[in-house]
Amino acid sequence: MSFGGRVLFDHVNVTFNDGERYGLTGPNGAGKSTFMKILSSEIEPTNGSVSVRGRLGVLEQDHSTYAHQRILDVVLSGHQTLWAALEKKAALLAKGDDLDDEDGMLLGELEMTIAEEDGYTAEGEATALLVGLGIPAHLHEEKLEVLQGGDRVRVLLAKALFGKPDSLLLDEPTNSLDISSIRWLESFLAEYEGALVVISHDRHFLNTVCTKIADVDYESIIIYSGDYDDMVRAKAEARTGLELANSARQEKIEQLQEFVRRFGAGTRASQVKSREKQAQREKQAMVDLKRSNIQRPFIRFDQARPSGRSVLSVQNLCKRFETISICKGFNLSVMRGDKIALVGPNGIGKTSMLRMFKGDLSPDEGEVGWGFEARVEYMPQEHSEVLQRSDQTAHAWLWSFNGRADEESLRALFGRLLFKKEEPLKPTKVLSGGETVRLLLAKLMLAEPNVLLLDEPTNHLDLESIRALTEALSVYEGTCIFVTHDRNMVERVATRILEMSVEGIRELSPSAFHDGQFLVKHGTYQQREAGAKPGSMRL
C-alpha cells in the first residue's frame, strides 16, 4: 500500500490463524489502521489481495449511522445473517392476519435460519456483552443517541464481538473503556477461538491478550511469537545481529579490496581474481537494512525549583452534580514527591476532581489549598481547553508560554518531541492527535513546574511515546496527580492510588500495586486500606 510517493508496506505476505491473538503494532502513521481497513475490504490495496474465511467482526469507528437505532438492535446487527432473518420475520409478523401460504413458508424458513444462528439466545448474549462493557441493562431499549460518544463506541465494540465471528479486527478497542471494562474485555478475548487482530496503545492489554505480535515496520509486517514485550526484545536482538553481521562483512570486503589494490598490477593475478569474486559474494550477502520508522521522543520534566514539603491540602470537600455525588467530606494531604494515580470507572468524577484541585471548578463545600512554592501545570483530557485549533502555528503557540528559552532551545525541544524540521510551523488546526499531545507535553517541559496534574495524558500517543512518558514521570522529582486507564503507567509511576467509586473515595494498600497485580479478574482492586471508610480518608 502506498500513498503518493510514500510506501507504507510492500510485498506483505502474512496469515492470521485461528486460536492466535495478534497485536498489530507500529508507531503512529506506520499504516496500522490502513492495513486493518484493507483486511476488512473498506479500502483496496495498491497491489495484492486478501482472503477471509467465515464471518468477520470489525470494530467500526463511525457510530453516527446507528444513532436512531435501539442499542440492543445495534449489537444484534453485528451478525448480518441473523439480523436479516430477524428483520424479515418482524416484517412478516407485522402483516397479522394477512399472511398467505407463501408468507407462512418463508416464515418457517426464517425460523430455521434463526435457530441455526442461535437467534433465540441472541438477546441474552447481546445483553451480557453490553453489561460487560459497562452499558447498564436499563439503557438497552433506548436509542444509541442517548449515550455519550465513548459509550457509543462500547456499543460498536459489542456489535463486533456479537455472534461468535470467525475472525475479529479491533482497532483501539480500549480507547473508551475504563479499567474494569478493559479487564472484562481481556477475559472475553482470552477465550476467543478465532483469529484476532487488534491495534492498541495499551501495553498491558497487549501483553495480557496477545499470543503473537504483527509489527508494521521497515515497509513490511513481521510476525513475532509472544506478547509485546517479547517482540521488543526479539526485534532489538534481530536488528543488532543483522547490523553486526553486516559490519563484519563490510570489514571483510575492505580487506579483500585492499588486497586487490595492492596486488592488482602484479604477478598474483589468480589470487586477485579470487579476492574480487569473494568481495562480490560478501556484498551480495549484505542485508539491506531499511530504516525503522519507530522513534521515541525524549521527555523529561525538570523543576525550576522544588515546592515546600506539604504540597496540597484538601479539607471536607463535597461536590454533587444533580443525582451524582463526586465526593462527600473528602480529606487529602499530598506531600512533595507523591505520585498519585486517580482511578475508577468512566463518569465517576475523576476529571472533576482534578479540576477542583486546579481551581477551575468550585466545590459545593470544603477547601483546596496549595502549599508553599507550588507551581502547578495542568494537562486536560479535552485538549481544546488549552490549545485552540486555529491558524496559529505550533511554534507561535508554544512561544507564547516561553519565559526564558531562546529560539535555538525551543527548536531543540521540538526536535526532542519528534517534530521534524518544518513541522513546528504547521497551524494548530491541522495537528494530529499525537502531535497535539506532544505539543502539550512540550509546554509542560518548558514550564518546569514542581506539580503536574495530568488527565489521560496517554491519549493519542503511540506505544513508544507512552513508554517515554511513563519513564519520564517515574523519575520526575516533583509531585504528580494523574488520571489514566493505562495500568502499566499506574504500576510504574504511582506511589499512591486513589480509587473513586459509587461507594466513595479510598486509598489502596501499596501492596496492591507494587507487585504488579493490583487488579483482580473483574476489575476491582485486590486490597483496600484496612478500615477505610468511603469519602472520609485523611492522610
Distances (CA, A) of 34 to 46, 59, 60, 123, 172: 12, 14, 13, 33, 13
DSSP secondary structure letter of residue 166: S
Residues 141, 76: one domain?
Answer: yes
Does residue 519 lie within any of the structural domains? no
Does residue 150 lie within any of the structural domains? yes
Rounded to a whole number of angstroms, the distance between the first and last alpha carbons of the chain is 56
Does residue 293 lie within any of the structural domains? no
Residues 471, 414: one domain?
Answer: yes
pLDDT digits 0-9 by tens, 466-494: 999 999 999 999 999 999 988 889 989 99
Residues 375, 393: one domain?
Answer: yes
List the alpha helices (DSSP H) in 400-462.
407-416, 433-447
Please tell me the number of Cα atoms within 13 Å of 407 on its side-chain side: 1
> Do residues 355 and 367 make contact, with C-beta atoms less than 8 angstroms apart?
no
Q: Compute φ and ψ for 52, nearest 5 degrees.
A: -125, 130
Local mean pLDDT, 10-residue blocks, the chain (539 residues): 83 94 87 91 92 93 88 94 90 81 85 90 94 93 89 93 94 86 91 94 92 89 92 80 74 81 73 81 70 78 95 95 88 96 89 95 95 95 87 92 84 92 90 89 95 93 91 97 91 92 83 47 32 34
Residues 169, 269: one domain?
Answer: no
Residues in the chain: 539
Residues 219, 249: one domain?
Answer: no
Q: Pick from 270, 285, 300: which residue ends a domain?
A: 285
List the alpha helices (DSSP H) in 361-432.
394-399, 407-416
DSSP string, 301-315: ---SS---SEEEEEE
**Number of folded domains in the chain?**
3
What is the predicted pLDDT for the residue at 533? 36
Does residue 294 lie within any of the structural domains? no
List the alpha helices (DSSP H) in 310-432.
350-358, 394-399, 407-416
- CATH number, domain of 10, equals 3.40.50.300
Q: Compute φ and ψ for 358, nearest 5 degrees.
A: -70, -30
Tell me the sheet residues that pair with 2.
7
Identify residue 99 by its one-letter amino acid code: L
List, in order, residues 6 or more apart from 531 with CB less than 8 Å away.
Answer: none
> Do residues 525 and 509 make contact, with C-beta atoms less than 8 angstroms apart?
no
Does residue 520 lie within any of the structural domains? no
Q: Compute φ and ψ for 173, nearest 5 degrees.
A: -70, -20
Report the alpha-carbon distance of residue 295 to residue 298 in Å, rounded: 10
Report the alpha-carbon distance of residue 356 to residue 339 in Å, rounded: 18
Report the alpha-carbon distance of residue 382 to residue 391 in Å, rounded: 19
Quote the pTM value. 0.72
Other beta carbons within 10 angstroms of residue 495's beta carbon come to 15
DSSP secondary structure letter of residue 42: S
Does residue 296 lie within any of the structural domains? no
Closest to 330 (Cα-Cα) out of 347, 342, 322, 339 = 342
Strands (E), 186-292: 195-199, 212-217, 220-225
Residues 464, 369: one domain?
Answer: yes
Residues 365, 255: one domain?
Answer: no
What nine digits make up the cell of 62?
463511525
Residues 214, 260: one domain?
Answer: no
Other beta carbons within 10 angstroms of residue 408's beta carbon come to 8
| Residue that the C-alpha cell 534481530 belongs to | 238
| Residue that the C-alpha cell 492522610 belongs to | 539
> Do residues 304 and 446 make contact, with C-beta atoms less than 8 angstroms apart?
no
Residues 221, 319: one domain?
Answer: no
Residues 217, 238: one domain?
Answer: no
> Do residues 8 and 34 make contact, with C-beta atoms less than 8 angstroms apart?
yes
Does residue 300 lie within any of the structural domains? no
- Range of the structural domain that residue 31 is part of: 2-230
CA-only gyration radius of the chain, Å:
28
Residues 211, 238: one domain?
Answer: no
Residues 223, 237: one domain?
Answer: no
What is the predicted pLDDT for the residue at 288? 67
Does residue 345 lie within any of the structural domains? yes
Other beta carbons within 10 angstroms of residue 37's beta carbon come to 19
Closest to 418 (Cα-Cα) out of 393, 439, 392, 390 = 439
